[in-house]
Amino acid sequence: MTTDVTNQRVGPAASESEAAVQVDNDGRRQGSRAPLSSPPPVPASPPRKRPARLAPLTPSLRITEPADMLKFMFAVGIECSYPIIAGNQRVDQLRDTGHYEMWQTDLRLVRELGLRYLRYGPPVYRIWTGPGQYDWSFTDLVMHEMRRLGIVPIIDLIHFGLPDFLHDFQNPDYPTHFADYARAFAERYPWVRYYTPVNEIYVTAQFSAAFGWWNERLMSDTAFVTNIKHNCKAAILAMRAILDLRPDAIFVFSESTEYVHPGSPDMVARALFMNERRFLSLDLLFGHDVTATMYRYLLSSGMSAEEYEWFRQQRDLRTHCIMGTDYYITNEHVIRSDGTSIGAGDVYGYYVITRQYFERYRMPVMHTETNRTAKHAVEWLWKEWMNLLRLREDGVPIVGFTWFGLVDMKDWDTALTKMRGTVNPVGLYTLGRKPRKVAREYRRLVEEYSTLPISSSKFPILTA
């Protein structure tokens, strides 16, 4: 995921020095030539008292009924990123936000918000210990409780990192191994229907292979394209494996929806290139033909014509896919003449950028991630929701909305590059599991729009 407290560099992968990070007063990161700045002081850990809760929405919980599947998919996500960073350190947001100890409370909070859908990423590096070797002990407990509570999970199989034995996303063996893992997961939990095989492929490639921050920590166009093609191939092979076992499976591809504004006349051509490159992951996943410029870029960066044609032949999978659009206030950038970028804020906003992605792919859409820091969260929630409603009214088939995440996160002010324990207050609940004002507002929104339908005529795969 990317949050209110991150901003991505958008310059060429190989030709620039790494843009460093500074944090402004609104929590957005600005590109500069200085070293990484120190994040804000670590807030004191909240006392682990019995968490304050909203009053239960329903007197009892029940397994999801078929009729529920016809309704709009209101969701929340639990942040679960686990990349490797410098010093061979493993980030684990589930660990750092207390989920391993408080998972039962977290699942209960999901239901007390009136929600059924939960974006959830089991910690793959702890589960998948080697080829054909799995430790399901923790995941079994969580999945059993989800089912008991009537939670419908959207499972992130990969979320920014790989198990140790696969090393990183440059590994050409990763996609075939991953298909085996996906099959094993679907066999163990056959009741799961919704998956995000690989989360935010574009961001994974940017941070791991263009910026040099995560995993392989490389900075080249070849590494960037290799990361994207391996992740897209892995996702496609995983879809095939899951569909063998669950023919009605649905895949929600959460991806960061980006836009680059030129900061000067000499940056117009570069911005145009970056605004084509932002589509690469979804182009390959959905078998969409790229432009001639992007095709030359792919071939010059290590992708063969045969590999490209293989992706073009996977278009039949589109009928099982929802395009997940992630949008934060940091998703729009201004690229400057020196190659660095600064945050642009929401110049175009969710409406305009989502419309661009929809016009390209013509697929059902779900708003799969958004948040802002606590002081702006309520305003941002309603702003995103108003944009979503306007898109629906204008004919864009949006079937769901997600606040990401359930609880606060840590260290996203440095894009997870520094493990300092800095709390990022972007959750519906604090790390002590106390509700923020935005939690009450989100619950109110869900209650008021609880009968909002999806269109069964447009999406037979969702309502079959």
Comparing CA positions, the residue from 59, 41, 110 lying closest to residue 428 is: 110
pLDDT in tens, the chain (464 residues): 655 554 443 333 333 333 333 333 333 333 322 222 233 333 333 444 444 555 544 334 444 444 455 689 999 999 999 999 999 999 999 999 999 999 999 999 999 999 999 999 999 999 999 999 999 999 999 999 999 999 999 999 999 999 999 999 999 999 999 999 999 999 999 999 999 999 999 999 999 999 999 999 999 999 999 999 999 999 999 999 999 999 999 999 999 999 999 999 999 999 999 999 999 999 999 999 999 999 999 999 999 999 999 999 999 999 999 999 999 999 999 999 998 999 999 999 999 999 999 999 999 999 999 999 999 999 999 999 999 999 999 999 999 999 999 999 999 999 999 999 999 999 999 999 999 999 999 999 999 999 898 864 455 556 54
Alpha-carbon 321 to chain mean position: 15
For residue 405, cis peptide bond before it (omega within 30 degrees of 0): yes
What DSSP line would sit under 159-228, residue for residue? SS---GGG-STT-TTHHHHHHHHHHHHHHH-TT--EEEEES-HHHHHIIIIIS--STT---SHHHHHHHH
> Rounded to an integer, what distance in angstroms lies between the CA atom of residue 51 and that of residue 439?
14
> Rounded to an integer, what distance in angstroms lies between the CA atom of residue 148 and that of residue 142?
10
At CA 79, angle to CA 75 and CA 82, rounded to 5? 145
Query: With contact defined as beta carbons under 8 Å apart, do 365 and 354 qualify?
Result: yes
Residues 6+ apart with CB under 8 A from 261: 271, 332, 333, 334, 335, 344, 347
> Rounded to an integer, what distance in angstroms lies between the CA atom of residue 335 and that of residue 10?
7
Directed axis angle between helix 292-300 and helix 268-277, to 10°? 80
How many other CB atoms sit within 10 Å of the CB of residue 91? 19
